[in-house]
Amino acid sequence: SDDYEKYKEEEKQHKHKEHLGKMGAVAAGAFALYEKHEAKKDAEHGHRHKIEEEIAAAVAVGSGGYAFHEHHEKKEAKEEAEEASGKHHHHLF
């Protein structure tokens, strides 16, 4: 029972981190689009905006990867919780 509660809490933490990763990806993606727009609009500082756009795009990809990683960690914690509680899933494929 203690193991079950531990794994359920771990699953909850990974779910929270997954959501944070998704929000980071959305925010960085939005900022990248904004900087792309600014690069076109502000020709005098266009190079700086282009660099900031590329950095924001890289952050968005990184945040998406982090969310993907946490999603898989959450699934593992859920499976461990089910094993600890006595539930078993049979995967055929």
87: tokens are 């539930």
Q: Which domain holds residue 7?
A: 1-85
Is residue 92 assigned to a domain?
no
Is residue 33 assigned to a domain?
yes
Is residue 93 assigned to a domain?
no
pTM of the model as a whole: 0.81
Residue pLDDT, tens place only, 10-61: 999 999 999 999 999 999 999 999 999 999 999 999 999 999 999 999 999 9
Interatomic CA distance for residues 79 and 83, integer angstroms:
6
String of b and e for 57-83 (b: at least 16 CB within 10 Å)? bebbeebbebbeebeebbeebbebbee
Q: Give the total number of structural domains in the chain.
A: 1
Is residue 91 assigned to a domain?
no
Residue pLDDT, tens place only, 53-82: 999 999 999 999 999 999 999 999 998 888
